[in-house]
Amino acid sequence: MPLDIPPGRDYIVSMLAPTVKLSVAQIAAYHAQGYLALDPITTPEELAKLRAIYDQLFEARAGREEGNHFDLAGTDEEGKAPALPQILAPSKYAPELLQTLLRANCDAIAAQLCGPECIWRFDHAINKPPRSGAATPWHQDEAYWGDDTVYDFALSIWIPFQDVNQHNGCMQFIPGSHRLEVLPHHPINNDPRIHGLELDAGAADVSHPAICPLPAGGCTIHPTRTLHYTAPNLSDAPRRAYILIYHTEPRKLANPRNFYWNHTKHPAREDRAAAAEKAKQFAKAV
């Protein structure tokens, strides 16, 4: 049975002393440019354990029935190899992912950048298969979120579990784009069956990205509106990325925005999630 892990800080992590202390210059650069890249925030030993857990989760397609495992860049039919497999909330299926020095350091980074109210809320994982033709197209993370909810601070910490460069899908950012509003997006290929979103052509100038190669266990950090992209994985190994999301308490907008691209989208994962929820309610009722 998957565990329901409440967001926030847990006892085990609070016992681990973080080892990352950002400099004043790093904090200033994050707020000025809308991204930051850091050297490894975990140990090689911990990274090896995390990589094994990660591979087992994707091998088992953890969360498939609940709609938490799906193809981010494809139509997600059963029996079809996913172009870009993603797992939402992998720590629900392997809580040990979050009982780590990595997590303690991510908590410390979020607090140093955005204050102690900016706490861990959610995790996900995107595993680019070897020799995969799928890019993760340019997008702002906030385009996936609710029209009516905003956060004073929200950020994603993106951690590759192997070295990354532009040939296997490292992060690329548009410096300064965190100051933009949420721009128009559409489902990849304009196919409403696909979960992944793509920035509309011409909505922003993405011709001069900052490319962020990283060693295994390093990380990039970006707030919700920074435009970002990862290229296809041209290497012979999987490109494993693990992502932790932090934000302050949500605030409801009096005048909601209109993220129309989410209103017509209907990926298969939503049907699986609805069926799983119905089964859970039924089990509770009998």
The smaller minimum CB distance to Ni ion, of residues 104 and 127, is found at 127
- Name the minimum Å distance from CB 49 to Ni ion: 25
Other CB atoms within 10 A of residue 120 CB: 22
Which is nearest to 207 in space by CA: 227, 180, 181, 178?
227
Using CB under 5 A as the binding criterion, the count of chain residues that bind Ni ion stands at: 1
The smaller minimum CB distance to Ni ion, of residues 123 and 141, is found at 141
Cα 27 off chain centre by: 21
The smaller minimum CB distance to Ni ion, of residues 43 and 153, is found at 153
Stretch that binds Ni ion, among 24-32, 120-128, 137-145, 201-209 (CB under 5 A): 137-145
- Regarding 107 and contact with Ni ion (CB under 5 A), the answer is no
CB nearest Ni ion: which residue?
141
Stretch that binds Ni ion, among 67-75, 140-148, 166-174, 233-241 (CB under 5 A): 140-148
Contact criterion met (CB below 8 Å) for 34 and 176: yes
DSSP code per residue over 200-237: PTTSS--SSPEEE-B-TT-EEEEETT--EEE--B-SSS
The smaller minimum CB distance to Ni ion, of residues 101 and 113, is found at 113
The smaller minimum CB distance to Ni ion, of residues 101 and 160, is found at 160
Stretch that binds Ni ion, among 141-149, 190-198, 206-214, 270-278 (CB under 5 A): 141-149
Encoded one letter per residue, x for contact with Ni ion by CB under 5 A and - for no contact, window 144-173 reads ------------------------------
- Regarding 142 and contact with Ni ion (CB under 5 A), the answer is no
Distances (CA, A) of 15 to 7, 102, 104, 123: 17, 13, 9, 21
CA distance 274 to 66: 8
- Name the minimum Å distance from CB 99 to Ni ion: 25
- Name the minimum Å distance from CB 203 to Ni ion: 16
Which residues face 230 on adjacent strands?
Answer: 136, 171
Task: Label residues 147-177 b or e (16+ Cβ within 10 Å = b).
Answer: eeebbeebbbbbbbbbbbeeebbbbbbbeeb
**Among 71, 76, 107, 141, contact with Ni ion (rule: CB under 5 A):** 141
**Contact residues for Ni ion, defined by CB under 5 A:** 141
